[in-house]
Amino acid sequence: MRKDGSTIMSLKDPGSYASVDEALSVLISEHPDKDKIMKGIAGGGGASGGTGIPSGKAWNEMTEQEHVALYRQNPAEYKRLKEVRQQ
């Protein structure tokens, strides 16, 4: 839900509410300081090597911020990991 109370609808599945990952992506993309936010995520350190994408982590071991960074930087890997999780 946005600050103004409006819901975030899915761009991938029109007519449905956005998933947590998709909603976070939308909120960040709409934020006026999105470049600073993404730079903070990417520079967060940890096991990601500074890219924001964790190396060798399973989907359930990743934070929401890591999901967003992975979605933005490598959509194919994001989709693959998400599908593996759902099996």
Tell me the per-residue pLDDT of 9-19, one tens digit each, with 9 for 90 and over.
Answer: 988 888 999 99
Task: Answer whether residue 50 is part of any domain.
Answer: yes
Task: Answer whether residue 64 is part of any domain.
Answer: yes
Q: Is pTM, for the whole model, over 0.75?
A: no
Task: Answer whether residue 42 is part of any domain.
Answer: yes
Number of domains in the chain: 1
Q: Which domain holds residue 80?
A: 34-86
Task: Answer whether residue 80 is part of any domain.
Answer: yes
Task: Answer whether residue 24 is part of any domain.
Answer: no
Check if the beta carbon of residue 54 is closer than 8 Å to that of residue 47: yes
pLDDT (tens digit per residue) in 25-83: 888 888 877 777 667 665 554 444 455 555 677 788 888 888 888 888 888 888 888 88
> How many CB atoms sit inside 10 A of residue 6's CB?
8
